Structure 1
Amino acid sequence: ALKATLEAFPEVEKVGYVSREQALEEFRARHENDELTLQALDELGDNPLGAVLNIKTKEPSQYEGVADFLKSSPVLSKEGKPIIDRVNYFQNKVAIDRLVTIIRQSEESNLAKTLILAVVSIIVMFNTIRLTIYISREEIAVMRLVGASNTYIRGPFVVVGIMYGIIAGLLAMAAFYPLTYWLGPLFYPFPFFLGDNIGDLTLFDYYLAHFGELFLIVVLCGVALGGISSFLTVRRYLKV
């Protein structure tokens, strides 16, 4: 009932339920190399862990409202006892507030940075294709003499620009791997949602979890910038 109530909140994106048994299994998996902890757990006999509801809101700033609801409106069991033992938000509030601040500042500056980098990329590609056209001027002259079509002459330069964009995207993804690994500890720990569980956010974890999405975005942006810049360069400098 509580899970359904939370899922009905407009600011809640997803609610994941972890049973006591699953929580115990995950705890054992996380400490599989810690024999002392596992031994102490076995000596307890009973499962000391409780069930967990992992809540993901649409915006980090919305966690406080959900946490306040859980704190001010305790849900009672049939026996009249509160079923909520602890709301972890208040323990992670400093980290979440810091994350919200970083996200807000990033959103304010990312558009300008993206536009600047896009313009720089187009200028670099512009000059690269122009140099390629200059180097290939004799081959272009021969193709004109034998009656090659405009598309046949211009096409390879556009393809080269697209290939440059793909290569640049692949190099960027390769560079992100060590960078996120080294910079990850600077942003630890932040709560983040992955699947049905909440873990501790590092840039490296986020990079691995969203590798497919990041790969498509970076490579497609490289293709778009390379294709557009090479097309504009060919139209300006290659008169056929």
Structure 2
Amino acid sequence: MFTEFKRIVHSGFVGFWRNAFVTLTSVLVMTVALFMVATTIFSDYSLESALSELQQKVDVNVYFVTTAAEEEVLSLKTSLEALPDVREVVYTSREDALTEFRNRHRNDELTIQALEELGENPLGASLSIRAQETSQYESIAAFLDEQQDNEDPANPRIDRINFFQNKAAIDKLTDIIDQERSKNGTQAIVLVLIAAFVVFNTIRLVIHNAREEIAVMRLVGASNFFISAPFVISGITQGLISSVLVLIVLYPTLLYREEVFYPFPFFGESDTSQLLFSYFVTDFGHIFLMVVGGGVLIGAIASFLSVRRYLKV
């Protein structure tokens, strides 16, 4: 059994190198196709990261009128914190809001001068609310709308709620990402089919060149498995070599040309400068299995189908 397996593997490698020009051309085309498939994987990752980063920045901000008492604001804060959908509520007092405003506009003399001329703090307190999940902001906004509707029109506390402006940005980005993901998926399928087609035709050409040898093997009673297995080994070898080449090329590409894969560079410029390279290094085992496993599987299936068609198994 082991001797037969050893002969099959040896025949597969001999066939691979015997038709070196054809198989190496196939490896080159398959490498390009698998590399493009790998870029779709990293593009999907960067899309998810972009959406996740924006979602982390989204919150519901409630701005209060300047006449709202601190006790009323803190009471609403307590009510919000009791909601199961709420992860965090940050309270900003009128004084803190004024300090932040001054710091933000410290180089704007006209604004600071206008503020001084007012003689009083024109800013109200605010609450910044973060949900457990992005999908839960709707229920939080609905709760705040209900609170605002129940207020005395003659003495309101809440000035405005800005969730819906942020929601529009999230929805727009989600639509863009869905379109990109769909396009990437279609592109990956087409490239996989191209790679399989190249291996399929390469193995057919190798089989055609070895037709006399195959005829002799049939005459001596060799099984279809023994005849076809070396060609399948050759296809697997093509997929394996192509996959390894892709991983080798990916390393410097991700290190020096990350912008090729990151479609939204305006998100988190400092935090994501090494995003994809870090993903490649930290999750290399998973990426290795996807790329190498995919390449070997494509090579095996394409070569098997090619041999089966020739032998009419």
Task: Pick one of 77, 90, 111 that aligns with 1:74.
Answer: 90
Q: C-alpha distance in 2, partners of 1:237/1:120? A: 20
Find the aligned partners of 2:60 and 2:253 in 1 and give their Cα distance.
34
Partner of 1:212: 285
Distance 1:219 1:225, change over 3 A: same
Q: 1:19-47, CA deviations, whole angstroms, 9 ceiling, x for partnerless residues?
A: xxxxxxxxxxxxxxxxxxxxxxxxxxxxx
- In 2, distance between residues paired with 1:105 and 1:201? 25
Instruction: Give, in whole Å, the separation in 1 of the partners of 2:301 and 2:190.
Output: 16
**Pairwise CA distance, 1:110:** 1.1
Whole-angstrom CA distance in 1 between matches of 2:291 and 2:89: 45
Corresponding letter in the other structure for 1:74: V
Is 1:136 the counterpart of 2:210? The answer is: yes
Query: In the superposition, relative to structure 1, how do residues 201 and 189 fare at CA in structure 2: closer, same or farther (>3 Å)?
Result: farther
Distance 1:99 1:65 in 2: 12
CA deviation vs aligned residue, 1:42-79 (integer Å, no higher than 9, x gap): xxxxxxxxxxxxxx999445323458699982279xxx
SS of match in other structure, 1:73: strand
What is the aligned partner in structure 1 of residue 254 from structure 2?
180
Distance 1:165 1:60 in 2: 36
2:261 equivalent to 1:163: no
For 2:173 and 2:282, how far apart are their aligned partners in 1? 18
The one-letter code of the counterpart of 2:255 is Y
Q: What is the CA distance between 1:133 and its match in structure 2?
A: 0.3
Between the aligned partners of 2:235 and 2:282, the Cα distance in structure 1 is: 30
Q: Say yes or no: does 1:233 pair with 2:301.
A: no
Partner of 1:153: 227
Task: Return the offset for 1:202.
Answer: 3.5
Which residue of the partner structure matches residue 186 of structure 2?
112
Alignment partner of 1:63 is 2:136: no
**Larger Rg over CA atoms:** 2
Aligned CA distance change for structure 1 residues 145 and 191 (closer, same or farther; 3 Å): same
C-alpha contact 2:51 2:174 (8 A) present in aligned 1: no
Question: Deviations for 1:188-217, whole angstroms, at most 9, x for unmatched residues?
Answer: 67559xxxxx76443322222222211110
Contact 2:204 2:306 in 1 (8 A): yes
Return the structure number with greater relative CO, CA threshold 8 A, min gap 6. 2
Identical-pair percentage = 39
Question: Could you list the runs of 5+ residues in structure 2 that have no partner in the other structure?
Answer: 1-48, 62-79, 81-85, 97-127, 129-165
Cα distance, 1:133–1:114 mapped onto 2, change above 3 Å: same
- Structure 2: which amino acid aligns with 1:134? H
Considering only aligned residues, what root-mean-square deviation do their CA atoms show, in Å?
Answer: 4.0
Q: Which amino acid aligns with 1:157?
A: F
Q: 1:165, 1:222 within 8 Å by CA — same for their partners in 2?
A: yes
Distance 1:111 1:191 in 2: 25
Aligned equivalents of 2:90, 2:176: Cα separation in 1: 32
CA distance in 1 between counterparts of 2:277 and 2:173 reads: 16
Say if 1:214 and 1:189 are closer, same or farther in 2 by CA, change over 3 A: farther
What is the TM-score of this pair, normalised by structure 1? 0.56
Q: Which has the higher helix share?
A: 2
Distance 1:126 1:110, change over 3 A: same
